[in-house]
Amino acid sequence: PHSLTAYRTFHTITTYVYIPQELKILMKPMKPKSYKREIIAIIGASISFFLFVFLINTNVGKIVNFQNSFLSSSLQQTGSTLDAIGAVISPFLSVILSLLFLTLGFVFLSSYSINGKYGKKVGVASGLIGAGLAIYWFQFSIVSLFVGAALVLSSIFIMPLAVTYSQELKKWKNFRIGSNSVGRVFLIFNLLVALGIFTAVFMNVGYYRQSFQSELSSTVKDASLQQAEAIADTYVSVFKESSIAAIDKTYPNLPASERQLLIDEINKQSDELKKNLLAEINNRADELGQKTIESLPLFQVYITWLPVMVAFSVFVLLEFFRSFIFSNIAGVFSLALLRVFEKI
């Protein structure tokens, strides 16, 4: 209040009394500082990072086992191509939603950096808050450390990137500031997350090997049982038809009532035969599924390269989302938030 009163008094005096311009500059009191932009940027980015961490938490296991889920869903899917794609993507819908909030958090920082004076400090503060939430929420796991590091580095680097783009771009400036800067830091984020997943799988490769082997064996077993039931139906149908044909050939003059009794007995035996066949196949399905998988050379190669394959698959998926979805969404967010920060 005192500084504001002094500023008004200075304005009144300099309006009605002639004072040299140089002296005015020396006499002019400082305007009271406002940290609205900094507060909005830190709170907006921190809330967005919290929602990102909260939503992605339930899918950490699926991310680490992405390759398992992909192969299992592909083997289990028997519908159309669209159904197959849906079965693969559906486990990651909350991950996509969480990355949407991560994009929003980055756009808060890039938009602030164009109009703010404390870009580095705001970026560090927001990144540290997000990293702390990630590490705590993921219970200090290996992946959480890499996600935390990715949030800190991305929050710091996005500030100078946005400023550079604001100086270089001429067309669609506000849109491309957010789109380009967020796209760049997402590359850093994706690399660190993929590296974290690689480290987690590599350090627990025995567990993930057993988990993947069990899941794939279960999938092979289910597929085998479905095929076995169809084969059993065909076998029983052939058995019934051949049995009835043999009766008609052997006893051509058999009365209709006695013939029906024999047919009923054949149907009863056929049902029992199918039941015994399926029970035997079910008893041996686990063993057969395990042996089938272990006998495949490609399975052994895949298990050896499992850490690399899982990390690479996640990186490719995240890069696909970055290039075709989140970079464009970041541009839309940037159009709105840049106007907000300009008015503050």
Give the whole-angstrom CA distance, residue 103 versus residue 330. Answer: 6
CA distances from 171 to 176, 205, 288 (A): 8, 49, 63
DSSP readout, 198-257? HHHHHHTHHHHHHHHHHHHHHHHHHHHHHHHHHHHHHHHHHHHHHHHHHHHHH-TT--HH
Q: State how far the Cα of 323 lies from the Cα of 187, in Å rounded to an integer.
A: 10
Tokens of residue 241, six digits: 């038809």
Side chain identity at residue 3, one-letter code: S
Tell me what pLDDT residue 175 has.
93
pLDDT range class, residue 107, cuts 50, 70, 90:
very high
By the 8 A CB rule, do 114 and 163 touch? yes
| Percent of the chain whose predicted confidence (pLDDT) is above 90 | 30
> Rounded to the nearest 5 degrees, what angle is found at the Cα of 202, between the Cα atoms of 199 and 208?
120
Q: Is the pLDDT reported for residue 83 higher than 50?
A: yes
Q: In the numeric block, which tokens belong to residue 12?
A: 């009144």
pLDDT band at 191, cuts 50/70/90?
very high
**Structure-block tokens of residue 111:** 């938009």
Residue 71, pLDDT score: 58
Do the Cβ atoms of 326 and 201 come closer than 8 Å? no
293-313 burial code (b ≥16 CB/10 A, e <16): beeeeeeeebbeebbebbbeb
> What are the pLDDT digits (tens) for 118-148?
668 899 999 999 999 999 988 888 888 999 9
pLDDT > 80? residue 268: yes
Looking at residue 254, its pLDDT comes to 76
Closest CA to 102 of 36, 197, 185: 185
161 pLDDT higher than 80: yes
Quote the CA–CA distance of 11 and 3 in Å, as a whole number.
12
pLDDT band for position 30 (cuts 50, 70, 90): very low
pLDDT score of 25: 46
> pLDDT of 146-159, one tens digit each?
999 999 999 999 99
User: Which amino acid is residue 225, in one-letter code?
Assistant: L
Question: Which DSSP string corresponds to 264-324?
Answer: HHHHHHHHHHHHHHHHHHHHHHHHHHHHHHHT-HHHHHHHHTHHHHHHHHHHHHHHHHIII
pLDDT at position 256 is 80
Measured CA to CA, the distance from residue 39 to residue 341 in angstroms comes to 11
Average pLDDT (56-69) is 58
Classify residue 140 by burial, with Cβ atoms within 10 Å: 0-12, 13-18, 19+.
exposed
Give the pLDDT band of residue 115 (cuts 50, 70, 90). Answer: confident
Lowest mean pLDDT among 70-79, 125-134, 181-190, 243-252: 70-79
